Amino acid sequence: MKKLFFSFAILFIASAGFAQSDILNKATSAASAAGFNVSSLTKGIMGKLSPALSLTGKQTPKVTSAVSTYLTGKSKILSLASSNKDQYTQKQSGLFSTLKTKLAGILLQNQMNKFLGLKPATNSPTNVLSQLFF
């Protein structure tokens, strides 16, 4: 009887773990399906930022990490852009504020000014930097 109970307990715990990872995989898949691949976007954005800001060897991995963290956070709220625009705007603004704070600790003042000057005039799907600012 005890063996049967423990078998069911182990089975239940394992299935709960798979359910949690399944939810995360579905969220990641949804973001990827929407054209929001954090890894490729980070590479594309860094391809623009590195030369534009003249990042040093020490700055590059730190900026890459900050951008990747920002994009990961953004991917989690992306569904709000269509269902609750106000909430999306509020959360995205908070994420961007956190990004700016991190970058201010990594970049020099003139680099930070250049970064802010890179903001596109409009949200354009053809400009990878739009993913940072909009």
Same domain, 22 and 56: no
| Model pLDDT, residue 5 | 44
Same domain, 71 and 107: yes
User: Which residues, at least 6 apart from 38, have a Cβ–Cβ distance to it below 8 Å?
Assistant: 31, 68, 71, 72, 75
Same domain, 15 and 70: no
- Name the average pLDDT for the chain: 81
Rounded to an integer, the average pLDDT of 39-59 is 96
Q: 118 to each of 15, 20, 41, 82, 129, how far by Cα in Å?
A: 47, 39, 16, 26, 8
| Among the ranges given (26-35, 52-61, 69-78), the one the predictor scored with the smallest mean pLDDT | 26-35
**Is 80 exceeded by the pLDDT of residue 7?**
no
Report if pTM > 0.95. Answer: no
Same domain, 62 and 128: yes
